[in-house]
A and B are shown apart, each in its own frame.
Chain A
């Protein structure tokens, strides 16, 4: 079946450091890919998405590129801030038009000032 694998956390970085959170997937067909973020005390929020190969999703300084050849969707940010501390989830959608997502295990990110 379809699955998503994320790098294990927790990840701790200093402010202004470069961030990469790895995400790889297994899927039949051509899924859409997503990054969701869960800030402390808040619900999950969509951070960015990409719907086809080579698409780049971006938002709030975060970027991720849909790489079909490596089945990856790594999340990157050039300079993290303390406010980026959260849990990040990579996910894929199995069916176009449906809201059934397969999530990775989540990566907890802590940014120290």
Chain B
């Protein structure tokens, strides 16, 4: 069974640009959540999607957005990039419903903002 796939794995952007990251969950998993990992702030929850609906949102500015498609694949977008957005962005999928917190993480997309 294929794991959670994130693309691209690495990318470099400049301030003011926008970026879109993609996540393909494990087959059969309908819940997708996103986390930002930085050395200073650690792992922070961004948002969670289930059946194309955002269920939870973390404490991030509106520049951070996401969506989920009917096949459970998800994308997140960051607009007007700032230097502080440099981070490893992790996607996780789960079966949801009764499997609280049992997440399967991808290897992440490492974003560098110059």
- Mark A residues whose CB is within 8 Å of B: 32, 34, 36, 42-46, 49, 51, 89, 91, 93, 95-106
Contacts and interface: CB of A to CB of B under 8 A. Distances in A.
B55 A98 contact: yes
Interface string B47-66: 01000000110100000000
B76 to A, nearest CB: 15
Interface of B: 3-4, 31, 33, 35, 42-45, 48, 55-56, 58, 90, 92, 94, 96-98, 100-108
B103 A44 contact: yes
A4 to B, nearest CB: 9
Given A43-B4, A89-B43, A103-B43, A95 B56 contact: yes
Contact of A91 (B56, B90, B101, B107): B101
Given A43-B3, A51-B100, A99 B90 contact: no
Given A49-B102, A99-B31, A99-B103, A44 B42 contact: no
A75 B38 CA distance: 23
B56 A105 contact: no
B45 A97 contact: no
A45 B100 contact: no
A4 B7 CA distance: 30
A99 B43 contact: no
Contacts of B90: 43-44
Contacts of B31: 99
A55 B101 CA distance: 16
A36 B102 CA distance: 10
B33 A100 contact: yes
B42 A105 contact: yes
Contacts of B56: 95, 98-100
B93 to A, nearest CB: 9
A99 B92 contact: yes
